[in-house]
Structure 1
Amino acid sequence: MSEYLLSVQKREGIGRGNSRRLRAQGQIPAVIYGTSGNRNLAVAERDFHMLLREVAGSTAVITLKIDENESINALIHETQRDPLTDRFRHIDFLEVVAGQLIHAHIPVHLKGESIGVKNGGVLEHAIHEVQVHCMPRHIPEYVEIDISTLNVGDAIHLENLPTLEGVTYDGEPDMVIVSVGEPAKAERTATEEATEEAAAAE
């Protein structure tokens, strides 16, 4: 899979005050968790946005360059955004070590247009990311599902996802990833919502 480079800085201070000062300077507070120990970092907001554009919705191993003599491979594990400004407030990275099993969240990409949707059905994409465990060299950038043969009433479950070398999916096998619902169901739901809203307004 592709690898990307992101320059980061060591962050000595912690706490809300320090985090506010970092954000005011265009930095995002971050933490990396892993076998080499947890570390507090700071990431330039501009650099992180550029990285996300390069990654473009895929899972990627990122080389965090701390200084001239130290780099750590990592995955973006979780991000927090400000609900009002949508700016990043915090980033959690997960260290990736060659030869060590890791757990990662992988995006689910849909391919094609289902027969059921063409006939008026409603596409319901229930799960946008799946959790997997594998060795770092086997981390997929995404999982692609062909939905072109899905008819009304059909569904793709976790157990139906494509087999990927060295990758094991975590979760219940019957978990629904994507399905096509009946048009009448969508109409009933809209009617019920309208009725509930009218009752609430009285």
Structure 2
Amino acid sequence: MATTKAKTTKKTTERQELNVKTRDALGKRRTRRLRDEGFIPGVIYGKGVAPVSVAVPQSDLVKVLHSKMGEHALLTLRLEGASSWEKAALVKTVQHDPVSGHVVHVDFHAIALTERLKVKVPLLLKGEAIGVKQENGILEHFLREVEVECLPADIPAAVEFDVSALTIGDTVHVRDLTAPANTKITSDPDGVVASLQKPKEEKPEEEAAAAVTEPEVLREKKPEEGEAAEAKAETPEPKKEKEAKS
């Protein structure tokens, strides 16, 4: 396989700010009321941080999730009414309503900016493979994200791999990727990222015609044993000729 280096989108060292407020009342009724008021219930936890139940403005959270970094955005959380309370955090888990798709709950993981961490980031394929353009091959993309280890400020928005040089029969593994600056890829090196396969061959018309099932020939049904006996009983026997008079 031709060697093609992985690329990474421009990293960000900026943190997005998100103001939250504490929520004391728990339960389905209260969380439903929070959502009606435009807030998403959530919780903040992490190493050395006591769990805090919070309410997040829905519009602000959606803006973060739809940003370039998405769920991998590095955040600064500020607690309403506590000017000295400030935490660096990442979005850990987002729960969606199964019907509407709206966000219904979010978990934040408080982190230390000086400690390396492991996060999963999107793995994107860029370019058009030679095997697709010239040989009508089929490019299959299997691995959609990859785990990297780095400092919070070095988290990449995504890792990209240029597939332009791929030909039919080539397979890309995690070990073929190049880690972005200041990061280390920790996913299984044998994991299959993508492969380029031959197009499926269509059957010739003659074979397709031969595969057509011939119509079934209907045969007259033989009478059952009982039916045959009944028919025999109903059939009158021929009369014997009278014997000649002596």
**TM-score category of the 2 structures, normalised to the smaller one:** 0.7 to 0.9
> Which structure 1 segments of 5+ residues have no match?
189-202
Cross-structure match for 1:32: 44
- Name the aligned partner's letter for residue 24 of structure 1: D
Q: Which of 78, 98, 117 matches 1:65?
A: 78
Shift of the 18–123 alpha-carbon distance from structure 1 to 2, 3 Å rule, reads: farther
Residue 28 of structure 1: how far off its partner (Å): 1.2
Q: Is the 8 A contact 2:123 2:144 kept in 1?
A: yes
Select which of 146, 151, 155 maps to 2:162: 146
**Pick aligned residue for 1:95 from 110, 119, 130:** 110
Q: Which residue of 1 aligns with 2:190?
A: 174
Deviation sequence 1:118-172 (CA, Å, 0-9, x none):
2322222222221222222332222121111122222221111112233222232
Q: Would you say the 8 A contact 2:149–2:186 is kept in 1? A: yes
Aligned sequence identity (%): 35
* CA offsets 1:151-200 (integer angstroms, 9 cap, x no match): 22222211111122332222321101222233218x89xxxxxxxxxxxx
Aligned-partner SS, 1:21? helix
Where does residue 51 of structure 1 map in the other structure?
64
- In structure 2, how many angstroms separate the alpha carbons of the residues matched to 1:43 and 1:179? 42
- Checking the alignment, whether the CA contact within 8 Å between 1:157 and 1:178 is kept in structure 2 is yes
Q: Match for 1:14: what amino acid?
A: L
Out of 15, 18, 41, the residue aligned to residue 6 of structure 1 is 18
Does 2:98 correspond to 1:83? yes
Q: Give 1:132's aligned residue.
A: 148
CA contact (8 A) 1:8 1:64 kept: yes
Larger of the two Rg values belongs to structure: 2
| 1:86 Cα deviation after fit | 0.8
For these two proteins, the number of residue pairs brought into alignment is: 187
Normalised to the residue count of structure 1, the TM-score between the two structures is 0.81
Structure 2 counterpart of 1:21: 33
What is the SS of the residue equivalent to 1:22? helix
Q: Is the 8 A contact 2:69 2:157 kept in 1?
A: no
- Relative to structure 1, the CA distance from residue 120 to residue 101 in structure 2 (aligned partners, 3 Å threshold; closer, same or farther) is same
* TM superposition shift of 1:81: 1.0
Say if 1:134 and 1:21 are closer, same or farther in 2 by CA, change over 3 A.
Answer: same
Check 1:182–1:92 CA distance in 2 against 1; reply closer, same or farther (3 A cut): farther
Distance 2:143 2:100 in 1: 26
Is the CA contact 1:58–1:142 (under 8 Å) kept in the aligned structure 2?
no
CA contact (8 A) 2:88 2:113 kept: no
Name the amino acid aligned to 2:37.
Q
- Name the SS for the 1:54 alignment partner: coil
Structure number with higher relative contact order (C-alpha < 8 Å, ≥ 6 residues apart): 2
Output the CA distance in 2 between the equivalents of 1:121 and 1:18. Answer: 55
State the distance in 1 between where 2:44 and 2:143 align.
Answer: 26
Distance in 2 (alpha carbons) for counterparts of 1:108 and 1:7: 30
Shift of 1:56: 5.3
Structure 2: gaps (5+ residues): 1-11, 204-246
Is 1:58–1:107's contact at 8 Å kept on the other side of the alignment? no
